[in-house]
């Protein structure tokens, strides 16, 4: 099986499992990624998805160039499986080794990125004339700014984990081999919060990014107003806990 799916606590751990191809994605793997995403989306008990790659050499080296003709560029979910779909719940990429081309685009699709010290990122498709077609031209500038994004897109250069952290491309760098462990711990932390309001705030941030400030504030106000019941319940829990202290 080219993609593994396992429930680990409140997380769904989705693993690209083609280490002999540096977890590169062919048509069958793209279909398996889409199926894994849909399984996560429909699993009410899975509150966070952690996406990673099998082995230590690569998170994902991108599209499998030896099987490029098996990928559907017009697939509704995107050639790499689900990159044109929006996740209704938080997602984390756990990255070790090469994270290149379409693999970088998969990582950028995730809300958060945890890298170990061996991770390396880049738009390596530049050297082969393959376009960024799984969201890279749109998500990379949103993640690190247009100037820095164009540096990576135009030059195709590779950045290591520490430079990726300084660019804002990753959220945290951990010791080699600890990336999945840290991502799962972070998933449990996120899953422990009251979900209704957390998901609403996530939606406001993601959808508001494409709006004017005025329209974004209106979206935040509307969504926040819909969560007042949850807010009052949370305030009551806080008051009861505080009043119960000796």
Catalytic, out of 102, 103, 122, 136 = 102
DSSP assignments along the chain, one per residue: --EEEEEETTEEEEEE--GGGTT-B-HHHHHHHHHHHHHHHH-TT--EEEEEESSSSEEE--B-GGGGGGS-TT-TT-TTSSTTS--SS-EEEEE-SEEETHHHHHHHHSSEEEEETT-EEE-GGGGGTPPP-SSHHHHHHHHH-HHHHHHHHHH--EEEHHHHHHHTS-SEEESTT-HHHHHHHHHHHHHTS-HHHHHHHHHHHHHHTTS-HHHHHHHHHHHHHHTHHHHHHHHHHHHHHHHT--
Token pair, residue 76, equals 């509704």
Catalytic, out of 36, 77, 93, 105 = 105
Catalytic, out of 58, 125, 191, 204 = 125
Burial-class residue 130 by CB neighbours within 10 Å (0-12, 13-18, 19+): middle
Q: Is 45 a catalytic residue?
A: no
Catalytic, out of 63, 107, 149, 183 = 63
Q: Is 102 a catalytic residue?
A: yes
Region for residue 87 given its phi and psi (left: phi exceeds 0; alpha: psi -120 to 50; beta: otherwise): beta
- Active site residues per annotation: 63, 102, 105, 125
């Amino acid at each position: 099986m080219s993609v593994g799916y396992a429930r680990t606590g409140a997380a769904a751990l989705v693993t690209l499992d083609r280490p002999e191809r540096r977890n590169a994605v062919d048509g069958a793997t793209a279909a398996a990624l889409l199926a894994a995403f849909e399984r996560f989306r429909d699993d009410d008990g899975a509150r966070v998805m952690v996406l990673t790659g099998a082995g230590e050499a690569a998170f994902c080296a991108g599209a499998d160039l030896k099987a490029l003709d098996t990928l559907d560029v017009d697939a509704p979910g995107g050639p790499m499986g689900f990159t044109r779909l929006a996740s209704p719940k938080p997602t984390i990429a756990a990255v070790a080794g090469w994270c290149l081309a379409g693999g970088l685009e998969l990582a950028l699709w995730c809300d958060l990125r945890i890298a170990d010290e061996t991770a390396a990122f880049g738009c390596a498709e530049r050297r082969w004339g393959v376009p960024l077609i799984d969201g890279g031209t749109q998500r990379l500038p949103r993640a690190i700014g247009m100037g820095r994004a164009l540096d990576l897109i135009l030059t195709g250069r590779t950045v290591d984990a520490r430079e990726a952290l300084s660019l804002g491309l990753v959220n945290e760098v951990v010791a080699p081999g600890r990336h999945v462990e840290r991502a799962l711990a972070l998933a449990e932390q996120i899953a422990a919060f009251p979900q209704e309001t957390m998901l609403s705030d996530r939606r406001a941030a993601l959808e508001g990014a494409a709006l004017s400030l005025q329209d974004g504030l209106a979206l935040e106000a509307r969504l926040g107003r819909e969560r007042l019941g949850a807010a009052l319940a949370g305030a009551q829990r806080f008051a009861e806990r505080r009043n119960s202290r000796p």
